[in-house]
Amino acid sequence: MANSTLHGICPEPFYQESLFPSTGGFIGGRYCQTVPLGDERLSCCLPCPLTEWTYDDQLLSQTKVASWLGVAILPLCIFLLVSYAVLPVKYTHRHYLSICFTLGICFMEIAFIIPLGVKSEQCHNAITPNDMYTDVSCAFTGALLLFGGWIVVVWSFIRTVAFHLQVCWEVIIGKKFMWGSFICGWGIPALCLTLMLIYTGVSYRFGNVCHINIKNSTSDYWAPVMAFAAASLLLHVATLGYCIHVYIRSLFDSSDSTTNSSGLPSYTGSVRTMTARQAYRRIRRVLQLQWRGISLVLIIIGNVIFFAVVFIDMNNELSLTPENMEKATPWLACLMETKGEKNRCLDQADAVRPNKATLLAVLILLSLVGFWNFILFARPSMFMGWVDFFKNGFGGGGPRRHEFVSVDARNKRLPDTRTYEMLTSSGISKTPEPLVRSPSPARTAGTLSPVGGHNHYGREARYVRPSMSFSGPRPPGSSQGQGRDWDPQATFARGQSPEYHHRQNLSR
């Protein structure tokens, strides 16, 4: 059936909806309006895709910028993952929080790269866009983009919780927190993605990457994502407030944290009873180790808030509500009068479309998340590690340059192994045990010291022989020339048999 016949009795450039099947593609993505024509009311629809009528012809080529940015940034993320897997931890300072976060970014970048290799059709027919059920590329790009976004947001929240526990509550992050992070960091995105694809789905809305549909998108995607972002932001504000509080206290803390009034080292302080100055030094140490993660989380929170505001506003503007259709009437009337010359009606289209610059900013910022991740976590020591890796014959069999170097010299050349991204201790050494003196022999024997410097003594000292002792007290000279004066049967000494004495007599 030719396109001229599909217009029906609707004015150009609209198509008569009743001439198209009610299945196939994303039916909810049609942009149709009921138009009174004589005694009848017909539903007339704009041709697909909608963005070709609301924006100029350059939009499609400009949206490909995000795809090419993904091509450039994905190798950077792969470089980080390979470095984490191959190089020693002293070069990479790897941590499962950084690894999982980078994996989530890879999913997002792959979603932007797929359309460059797969030339998919955005429309199922003249008025219906394709969705995840009618186009495989749409299913993969939409699922990967949303799943990667969920992973990035959830792991940002987990990193924020870990930072808050370490700074404010002095909790040491251990294996329980790690396994809980794995369960939540991968389970929540997988569960939410499943629910979102079932109840909302994805389709072509603008560009060559599928995005979440309007129906139920606020309740099953944007609201939960915003909840995690808001919780992360509140935790960061609380942690920052605590750091400021500790810093102000340290300014007015005149106590010495290392010595007491006697000038000797003091070990009475502990993790729970540290001074304000000690707490400030500990927090400063944590900030020095984790400022990269803090900066990246703040960038993610800002992006998520911006994306949510833009998409929710776009959903509200493109929803087929009576209010929106009333605002779109001048634009639709212009298209009917000009018979589809969209460039003459772009001014009227401003009332029904999101701003073009804002739309492109969303796509570019989504692609740049991997760039910020690389800038913050690609440490100079990684490149030193790769140089050492290739010089040593791919990590094995090569000469060990620092094998016979002193510890002091080695520490000047290699990175400090204590500067890992996440602290494994609170930074305060164990409090030494109080000095315990063993009781003196005089006290255990029951003797008393002289009183007043005179030769007055208490009761006579008595020696009590332990049960496992093989010796006993004897006066001086008792062992000289008097032979043996002890009975072997009274001790643990081994006696000699009669056969032994008989052999001795025969030998004589």
pLDDT tens digits for range 146-199: 999 999 999 999 999 999 998 889 888 899 999 999 999 999 999 999 999 999
The per-residue pLDDT for range 168-182, each reduced to its tens digit, is 898 888 999 999 999
Closest CA to 207 of 104, 96, 114, 317: 114
Query: For residue 457, how far is the Cα from the chain centroid?
Result: 74
Residues 292 and 376: beta-carbon distance below 8 Å: yes
181-201: b (≥16 Cβ within 10 Å) or e:
beeebbebbeebbeebbeebb
Query: What is the signed CA dihedral for 214, 204, 26, 311, rounded to 10 degrees?
Result: 0
Cα angle, residue 129 at apex, residues 125 and 131 outer, rounded to 5°: 120
For the chain, give the percent of residues with pLDDT over 70.
72
Maximum distance among all alpha carbons in the chain? 149
Q: For 58-254+291-307+353-390, CATH number? A: 1.20.1070.10
Residue 486 has pLDDT above 70, yes or no: no
At 79-134, the pLDDT tens digits run 999 999 999 999 999 999 999 999 999 999 999 999 998 888 899 999 999 999 99
**Nearest Cα residue to 422 out of 91, 94, 156:** 94
**Higher confidence at residue 437 or residue 334?**
334
**Strand, helix or coil at 38?**
coil
The confidence score (pLDDT) of residue 471 equals 58
Question: Side by side, which strands form the sheet with 32-37?
Answer: 15-16, 40-45, 32-37
pLDDT tens for each residue of 234-271:
999 999 888 888 888 888 876 654 444 444 444 444 44
The mean of the pLDDT values for the chain is: 79
Whether the per-residue pLDDT at 457 is higher than 50: the answer is: no
Cα angle vertex 373, ends 367, 377, to 5°? 160
Axis crossing angle, helix 356-377 with helix 59-86, rounded to the nearest 10: 10
pLDDT, mean of residues 18-27: 91
Q: How far is CA 398 from CA 389, 402, 405, in A?
A: 9, 12, 16
